[in-house]
Structure 1
Amino acid sequence: MPAEPAATPVKARWRLLQERLQQRGERRLVLVEGERSQTVAWVRQVLAALPEPAGLWTGPSGECPAAHLVTVPPRRADQWLGQELSVVVWDGWQGNPPDGIAALSGTLRTGGLFFWLMPPLEHWPHFDDPDYARTGLDGRQAHPFAARLARILAADASVLRINPEHGDQVPFQDLPEPESPFTVQTTREQQVLVDRLVQCGLGRRRRPLVLTADRGRGKSAALGMAAAELLRQGRTRIVISAPLVDNVSTLFRHAREALGSELLHESDHELTTRSGGRMCFLPVRELLAQQPEAGVVMVDEAAAIAAPLLRQVLLGWPRVIFASTVHGYEGSGRGFAIRFRQVLDRETPHWQPVSLTAPVRWSDQDPLEPLISDLFLLAADSEPADVQASGKPSILVESWSPGTADESELAEAFGLLVNAHYRTTPSDLRQWMDAPGVVCWRARRGGHTVGVLWAAVEGGLDAGLAEQVTLGTRRPRGHMLPQSLASHSGFPEAASQCCLRVVRVAVSEGVRRLGVGQRLVEVAAEYAGNAQLDSLGTSFGGSPDLLAFWQSCGLDVVRVGLGREATSGEYPLQMLRGVSPAGQALQQRLKQRLTEHWQTLVPLAWVDMDARLLAALTCSLPAEVRLSGDDRRDLVSFAHGHRGFLLTLPVLGKLNQVPGVMDWLREQPDLPLWVAAVLRQQPWAHMQADRLCTGQRDGEDRLRALVRCLLEHPPEM
């Protein structure tokens, strides 16, 4: 600030500071340290001197320090993605979920102030954060994640640290007035993007565009301007989708501004032009359920949407545009791009990648964005240049702790998780560093981390509590896999035994398929045995590739979830490898129980599971059925057209559990038809709609051909 305001009353100086930040295109974190009631009172006084545009308060509604602030629980902060605020007052005494802090910082416009109310920094490593209990982090004496945040904040000169106990000594920075005030305006890069979006929306079918950009780069504004131009150029129906309608408020605002007098009707989620064009919002699940006609579908905040849903959107409309934040707190856009690229390459190989790099909503000198990125490792990367070096790699696997790692090692390892799991968020970083019972290993090559395995010791509950878990009357935190197996299988010993659960495993792309992941898992299994644990296990959103990897590591499927995961959009698979005699016995009992229930559950629970995965799971179960002479006679009769499909269906179902048959079927082109007709027992009309057959006669003829071929060249039946 200039020298003359030094004697100005404190409240007026805060107003001048905000004005100067706005002129410079910058924002600031204001750390208000001290006893809670004093920090709330201090913020109340300062806010009274500031303008009253949009702002949030995350504390109790009855203690809101300004009437114009909207009260929002910390865990609901992600609902404000895509909106713009001038002030955020974060009451850290109510809990500090990292995703919420990162999300709300991204909503601040130029001149924005993020007030963070907390104890003094030196108390952070031992601060009993109220959010810890929700995630099983309570009970620890020290918290490495919080200690790391405190170190970074203390070292950053842009952070304004305030302690109300010290009176009016406010450490304002010297911020010279810029030669020309910062203004938010369309950049050349943004205009080029708008042109690309319009070309995509008017161009050839099945050439989707995938836009990735850091927050504040103007991607939502570009989508809105492009949507308006598409309506002008004749697209009569454009559908906008995102996790929440609030996520697209900026998009709709820019579309309204671009259309101006051409608008006939407008609301927060729908625009209609005088020429008859219409643009509306639908949440992604409603979009897929309603299947509306649309010339263009735009999906914003795509990294927050499960990949299977994105694939359905991709295949459901001729022209689709996906947009995602690169380093996002709702899920990593970089991980999204890496994982979703596989789907795009397979389904629409002519897809178009595009990105924005220059900030639009704030200056490139803004210190808040790099600070938040450092705090939560939003830009963590894992692909060092020399990892791709030729020659057989020499890889060292060693025990490692993220809580004691230096910044470069931590960023490199966390970057592996980000790239491998696109829904990785800052909360995962906290969980990794602070959760009790965590054990980790890393694989090193040439001075770089090329693989990480994060595991946690779970289970070991006493007999009484294990019985309550099995009955569903108790659910203690921090024992995800044992509790799930106990409550769904009905075996209390699944909760009383001790298990090492692999939470995440990730390997750098440059050394994949060289056995690095298997080596990490084997080291974890050895640790479980030496620690006298009963089993090694994992739980993940199912896919054929991941199932094959874990099977190669010696784990068996022991449970398949009945509903899709909210995070991955896939059915959860739980796998186990017994390392003690008791653990091995439990593994076999769980696997046998799943086998007994399989044929009944498939048509009821997994009717929309990927056919390749369903076949692989069926193949993984014990195949112990032997066909009788009567069974063989029925199969021959069906194969040659003398017996109907329904009458033969019970015998066809038995074939799935005959040794070698499912392995053989997985190699046949008509596997999806077999899965739908025999395993899932779907109606012929559904199979016809899914283009598995042209009708019942065609489907039955192809199944008969399969059975004929099987009988002529049987595996071992």
Structure 2
Amino acid sequence: MVPSTSRLRAYLAEARDPHNAYRRLVVLPPPATLAPTAAALEAPAIAVTSATDLPVGSVRPDDAGALLGHEYRDILIDVREGLDLDALAAAAGAVQGGGLLCLLVPALPDWPSLADPGLARWLSWPAEPVDAAGHFRRRLIRLLREDASVMIHPAAPPPLPPPPPPTAPAADPQCATRDQEAAVAAVLGVASSPRPHPCVITADRGRGKSAALGIAAARLAASGYASILVTAPRRSAATTLLRHAGADVTPAVRFLPADELLRHHHDAQLLLVDEAAGLSGPVLEALLQRYQRVAFATTIHGYEGTGRGFRLRFRETLERIAPEYTALHLATPVRWATGDPLEAFLFEALLLDAEPATGVTTPDSPPQVEHVRASALAADERALRELFGLLVDAHYQTRPEDLRRMLEAPEAAIWRIVDGAGHTIAAGLTLEEGGLPRDLQGAILHGERRLRGHLLPQSLAAHAGLADATRLRHRRVHRLAVHPDLQRRGLGRRLLTAITEAAAADGLDTAGTVFGATPELLAFWRSAGFDPIHVGHRRDAASGTRAAFMLRPCSAAGRALTSLGTTAFANDLPWRLAGPLRDSPAALVAALLQGLPFPPPTGRDRAIAAAFAHGHRGADDAGAAIQRLLLSAGAGGLPEALSPTDRALLIGRFLQHQGWATLAAEASASGRRQVTDRLRRAVAMLLAVAPQ
């Protein structure tokens, strides 16, 4: 019998905290249904569901991120349509103190074995939700039953602890807490200080940091500031900031994507960077160097990536570039009380606060790599927390859905290295790709068909023209992390070697990877035996990087594909550097050149380059010969005697065909003559080391 609306309303009323301090999670298995449950919610309320004919407003799970920055008394999520962990975390952040987050779920004993529609977008073709394991769902059900603060209908709710004593109110009437008041003052201080220094504001979700940035921006705009720029990984991540800043009514506050801020010069009296942990380290460093007055804010334990890695790595950048920076951490929640049960449960269930193990040691040499079963990992909370904490720390865009995919996707495999005490000190997540049917290969090659998953082979076929990539079978390294205290000791390479050897033993053709290309990462993957096959043309808006595709062969067919791919990449690279990769940093171009099969320069090439070096030829007349000389030298590594500026000039002129004004700005030179003089000296150095 379906519970009546009145009975549900009475049950939910019993669950509420009468002090409006704590929030609670309510689980509603059958016979609860959508419409009566929605009708029992207390306004303002909203449902996360694809259904629309409800007594409350609704938002689709894919759009749940739009709830951030808004407040609701109750929120209902229809999990029967599919469990979306990102939507769950986003919705929880919008529930007010005293409110409820209600989950409409399948029968708990049956849930792990059901075909969950929420997995459809994460599984690689031809897998369907019915093929997924239920390990994450089994763990979630266990945690729900073990947590005394969670209500599972129809069980009576246990009593809530008394609310903590009230915190002292802020003196500023626009601020909800003293923490938020201090954050507003810090941002105003960045804008007004005679000596530019950045500030960094960190907080868990719901502490009012984005609102603090917006309040400060509104006050600055009202006082006459005409150019306050805002950026974030996505515009939606800055919604709260922009609303509090009144960006819709004042032209002084504008949002611009981070890559736009770096591609073109924009005058700014102040730059506000919200959810900074969702941007890559190189992008954050570039923003810090380009804009004088910057305030950064980020969520530390959020669902949109981690702030812990940001906190650790960006601190080093700040201490190097701007050691006088101000750091604040907001601890007091704005909309609910400290010790909120819903927040505590989500931290545990979604591992939002997972961090690497402490007190780790270097393992015996050589360390042993373990292939970990997802079922065992899901049942071992310490091991799961340590391993996922490593991945979160290393990859700034790791999200709760990555946790579920790791534990339930049939194509996923988990690898780790442990120290003597059993702590995880290195971890990898791989995905099986390729082996696609022959009748689909042509359509993929010509860009007419794109299957779910299989990123590596489909991209190599469609964008690099490697038809066999879809036929062969690959083990793609999706995530790789080494404990921050044990890096640069060979653990990452050891892990990759074991993954590659296992791929060969399993009859696969290659191990591969796709990542945002930087000189450091290219050097690391090369040192592990991987060769570059393709570089994407589009920059990622959050990282500012282009995707690099690399392979390490595991079979004869894999060696043939890798050889063909590297040769094709080398042949195409000169054109791409003058076209879609023209704005790539010189250090990245130099890293791409290393190890590629460029032919040595001919005697004629050397003679023409020498004529340029001695002032007998112009750069345009000698350019083609110097390009071949530069490619050949770059394959073996450009000479260390060349300064970074000289490398940038050589690459910019002879590979990327940059204009003289751009080159002069790079070299801080007065014009073409000074740039040419430096190029002549640099070419002379190349001639001294280039292969004969």
Instruction: Give the TM-score normalised by the residue count of structure 1.
Output: 0.87
State the secondary structure of the residue aligned to 1:502. strand
Whether the 8 Å contact between 1:571 and 1:609 is mirrored in structure 2 is: no
Which runs of structure 2 are paired with 1:33-44 in the superposition (5 Å)? 33-34=29-30, 38-44=32-38
Counterpart amino acid of 1:40?
L
Tell me which residue corresponds to 1:634.
608
Change (3 A) 1:181 1:348: closer
Alpha-carbon distance in structure 2 between the residues aligned to 1:658 and 1:188 = 61
- Map of 1:23 onto structure 2: 19
CA shift at 1:309, angstroms? 4.2
Which residue of 75, 91, 103 maps to 2:78?
91
Residue 258 of structure 1 is matched in structure 2 by none
- Of 174, 183, 193, the residue aligned with 2:159 is 174
CA contact (8 A) 2:132 2:410 kept: no
Q: Indicate the larger mover: 695-704 or 584-593.
A: 695-704
1:359 pairs with 2:336 = no
Matches within 5 A, 1:524-535: 524-535=499-510
Q: Note the C-alpha offset of 1:583.
A: 0.9
Offset, 1:247: 4.1
Distance 2:513 2:243 in 1: 45
Q: Which residue of 1 aligns with 2:89?
A: 102
> How do residues 487-566 of structure 1 correspond to structure 2 at under 5 angstroms?
487-566=462-541
3-state SS, counterpart of residue 649 of structure 2:
helix
CA distance in 1, matches of 2:641, 2:27: 61
Q: What SS does the corresponding residue of 1:146 show, helix, strand or coil?
A: helix
**Which residue number corresponds to residue 327 of structure 1?**
301
Deviations 1:505-553 (A, max 9, x none): 1100111111111111111111012111111111111111111111111
**Conserved? CA contact 2:445–2:467, under 8 Å:** yes
The aligned amino acid for 1:117 is L
Can you list the C-alpha shifts for 1:672-717, whole angstroms capped at 9, x where unaligned? 1111111111112233445564422221111011112333x33423
Give the secondary structure class of the aligned counterpart of 2:480. strand
What's 1:269 paired with? Answer: 248
For residue 430 of structure 1, what is the aligned residue in structure 2?
404
Kindly state the Cα deviation for residue 308 of structure 1 after the two structures are TM-superposed.
4.8
1:25-51 CA-partner distances (Å, limit 9, x unpaired): 11122212126xx5113213313xx23
| Cα distance in 2 between the residues matched to 1:567 and 1:22 | 42
Structure 1 residue aligned with 2:678 = 702
More displaced stretch, 465-474 vs 658-667 = 658-667
- Please give the secondary structure, in 2, of the residue aligned with 1:589: helix
Tell me if 1:302 matches 2:276.
yes
**Residue 360 of structure 2: aligned partner:** 387
2:573 is aligned to 598
Q: Aligned match of 1:32 in 17, 28, 33?
A: 28
User: Which region of structure 1 is more displaced relative to structure 2, 700-709 or 357-366?
Assistant: 357-366
Do the aligned partners of residues 325 and 518 (structure 1) sit closer, same or farther apart at CA in structure 2, a change above 3 Å counting?
Answer: same
* Aligned counterpart for 1:215 among listed residues 205, 222, 240: 205
What's the CA shift for 1:402? 3.6
Q: 2:414 aligned with 1:463, yes or no?
A: no
Q: Which deviates further from its counterpart, 672-681 or 630-639?
A: 630-639
Q: Residue 621 of structure 2 aligns with which residue?
A: 647
Same amino acid, percent of matched pairs: 37
1:5 counterpart residue number: none
Q: Is the 8 A contact 2:136 2:407 kept in 1?
A: yes
Query: For residues 561-601 of structure 1, what are the alpha-carbon distances to aligned partners after superposition, in whole Å with 9 as ceiling and x for unaligned?
Result: 12123553311111111111111111101111111111111
Match of 2:110 in 1: 123
Native 8 Å contact 2:503 2:509 kept in 1: yes
Task: Answer with 179-188 or 375-384: which moved more.
Answer: 179-188
- CA deviation after TM superposition for structure 1 residue 95, in Å: 2.2
CA distance in 2, matches of 1:490, 1:359: 53
Q: Is the 8 A contact 2:112 2:133 kept in 1?
A: yes
The 1-side partners of 2:464 and 2:257 are apart by 35
User: Partner of 1:403 in structure 2?
Assistant: 375
Change (3 A) 1:449 1:223: same
Structure 1 position 373, deviation (Å) = 1.0
In the TM superposition, residue 346 of structure 1 has moved relative to its aligned partner by 5.0
How do 1:184-263 residues align onto structure 2 when only pairs under 5 Å count?
186-228=176-218, 230=220, 235=225, 237-243=227-233, 247-251=237-241
Matches of 2:169 and 2:81, distance apart in 1: 34
Is residue 338 of structure 1 aligned with residue 330 of structure 2? no
TM-score (norm 2): 0.90
Q: Give the aligned CA root-mean-square deviation in angstroms.
A: 2.9
The alignment partner of 1:23 has SS state of coil
Partner of 2:39: 45
CA distance in 2, matches of 1:252, 1:616: 39
Gaps of 5+ in 2: 171-175
> Is the 1:306–1:566 contact (alpha carbons within 8 Å) kept by the matching residues of 2?
no
Deviation larger for 426-435 or 283-292? 283-292
In structure 2, how many angstroms separate the alpha carbons of the residues matched to 1:593 and 1:403?
42
Amino acid paired to 1:80: L
1:178 is displaced (CA, Å) by 5.7
Which amino acid in 2 is paired with 1:413?
L
**Aligned residue number for residue 587 of structure 2:** 612
Q: Could you tell me which of 132, 150, 156 is aligned with 2:119?
A: 132
Stretch of structure 1 that moved more, 120-129 or 533-542: 120-129
Instruction: Give how far 1:388 is off.
Output: 5.7
CA contact (8 A) 1:673 1:693 kept: no
Distance, in Å, in 1 between the alignment partners of 2:50 and 2:550 is 42
Asked if residue 368 in structure 1 is aligned to residue 368 in structure 2, the reply is: no
Q: Which secondary structure does the structure 2 equivalent of 1:171 belong to?
A: coil
Structure-2 change in CA distance of 1:141 and 1:355 (3 Å): closer
Structure 1 residue ranges without an equivalent (≥5): 1-7, 163-168, 256-266, 273-277
Alignment partners' CA distance in 1, 2:497 and 2:292:
46
1:398 shift after superposition = 1.9
Match of 1:480 among 455, 458, 462: 455
Distance in 1 of aligned mates of 2:366 and 2:632: 43
CA positional deviation for 1:610: 2.4
What is the deviation of 1:554?
A: 0.9
Secondary structure at 1:664 match in 2: coil
Give, in angstroms, the shift of residue 616 of structure 1: 1.1
Q: 1:112 aligns with which of 86, 99, 120?
A: 99
What's the CA shift string for 1:106-165, capped at 9, x where partnerless? Answer: 121212221211202212211212121211162425321122112111222222223xxx
Amino acid at match of 1:221: A
Match of 1:59 in 2: 49
CA contact (8 A) 1:396 1:445 kept: no
Alignment partner, residue 684 of structure 1: 660
User: Which letter does structure 2 place at the counterpart of 1:619?
Assistant: Q
CA distance in 2: counterparts of 1:219 and 1:652, whole angstroms: 53
Task: State how far apart, in whole Å, the 1-side matches of 2:678 and 2:659 are.
Answer: 16
Q: SS of the residue aligned with 1:338?
A: helix
Letter in 2 for 1:367: P
Deviation digits for residues 413-460 of structure 1, max 9, x if unmatched? Answer: 000001111111101111111111322221111321100121122111
Counterpart Cα distance in 1 of 2:264 and 2:689? 45
C-alpha contact (below 8 Å) 1:200/1:207 kept by paired residues? yes
Q: Residues 203 and 209 of structure 2 are in contact (CA less than 8 Å); yes or no, is this contact kept in structure 1?
A: yes
Distance of 2:117 and 2:60 partners within structure 1? 13
| Residues in 1 aligned to 2:334 and 2:212: alpha-carbon distance in whole angstroms | 11
Shift of 1:617: 0.6
Aligned residue among 547, 564, 583 for 1:589: 564
Is the alpha carbon distance of 1:219 and 1:631 closer, same or farther for their aligned partners in structure 2, counting shifts above 3 Å? same
CA contact (8 A) 2:633 2:689 kept: no
Letter in 1 for 2:360: V
Q: What is the number of equivalent residue pairs in this alignment? A: 674
Classify the secondary structure of the residue corresponding to 2:388.
Answer: helix
